[in-house]
């Protein structure tokens, strides 16, 4: 009986895997597009996302730790971690939720059936400042950052600080806009 159950489970797993493989190699008669293609088309529409926060960004981060020396009293700052261009995200306007103005979706994993919202931005009345909530995977915690947007350079810079023991840890995120670039794109 146990052997029969194990055989059934293994067979169903193999059939599921074969179905997935056959779907990847399926020949379609119509042209197919994925989310990345649609996102790129959306942000590159004429005049919609230029000079706004909306766009496709490359994300970099720097984590620094600052503390005072016990005997000398001098402040010492050390870079704990630095990651350049570690992620690619899209920021889209969200008119459906009054609690946020923009949503952030990761573009790191292609060909997913759905994409998770990993963050949200709220603009502060007619300024270049935004409040950002970053959601950790599996609902572990929410990190809040204060961002500024430089329209001339198309860069978002965010900062969050934590006091741990006698140290101040600063998390800095830099988003460099990749798309739209301000020039028309022909498809």
Which CATH number characterizes residue 64's domain? 2.40.128
Return the sign of the alpha-carbon dihedral for residues 185, 48, 90, 126: positive
Tell whether 77 is covered by a domain: yes
Using 50, 70 and 90 to split pLDDT, how confident is the model at 16? very low
Res 48: pLDDT: 64
Res 105: pLDDT: 92
Range of the domain at 118: 35-179
Using 50, 70 and 90 to split pLDDT, how confident is the model at 185? very low
pLDDT of 186 > 50? The answer is no
Residue of 69 and 143 predicted with greater confidence: 143
Tell whether 15 is covered by a domain: no
Residue of 48 and 178 predicted with greater confidence: 178
Residue of 131 and 180 predicted with greater confidence: 131
Comparing 62-66, 141-145, 146-150, 179-183, the range with the smallest average pLDDT is 179-183
Please tell me the distance from the alpha carbon of residue 151 to that of residue 174, in angstroms, as a whole number: 14
Tell whether 13 is covered by a domain: no
Tell whether 149 is covered by a domain: yes
Tell whether 14 is covered by a domain: no
Res 39: pLDDT: 81
Q: What is the DSSP string of 1-53?
A: -HHHHHHHHHHHHHHHHHHHHHHHTPPPSS----HHHHHHHHHTSTTTSTTSS
Tell whether 53 is covered by a domain: yes
**Whole-prediction pTM value?**
0.75
The domain total for the chain is: 1
With CA atoms as reference, report the closest residue to 67 among 57, 56, 78, 59: 78
- Residues whose CB falls within 8 Å of the CB of residue 162, separated by 6 or more in sequence, listed in order: 168, 169, 171
Tell whether 8 is covered by a domain: no
Tell whether 4 is covered by a domain: no
């Amino acid at each position: 009986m146990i052997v029969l159950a194990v055989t059934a489970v293994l067979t169903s797993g193999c059939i599921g895997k074969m179905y997935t493989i056959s779907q990847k190699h399926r020949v379609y008669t119509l042209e197919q597009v994925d989310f990345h293609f649609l996102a790129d088309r959306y942000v590159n529409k004429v005049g919609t996302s230029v000079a706004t926060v909306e766009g496709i960004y490359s994300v970099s981060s720097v984590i620094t730790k600052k503390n005072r020396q016990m005997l000398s009293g001098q402040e010492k700052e050390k870079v704990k971690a630095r990651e350049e261009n570690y992620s690619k995200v899209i920021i889209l306007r969200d008119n459906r939720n009054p609690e946020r103005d923009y949503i952030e979706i990761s573009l790191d994993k292609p060909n997913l059936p759905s994409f998770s919202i990993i963050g949200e931005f709220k603009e502060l009345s007619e300024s270049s400042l935004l409040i950002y909530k970053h959601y950790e995977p599996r609902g572990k915690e929410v990190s809040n950052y204060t961002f500024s947007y430089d329209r001339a350079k198309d860069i978002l810079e965010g900062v969050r600080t934590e006091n741990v023991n006698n140290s101040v840890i600063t998390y800095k995120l830099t988003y460099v806009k990749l798309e739209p670039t301000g020039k028309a794109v022909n498809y």
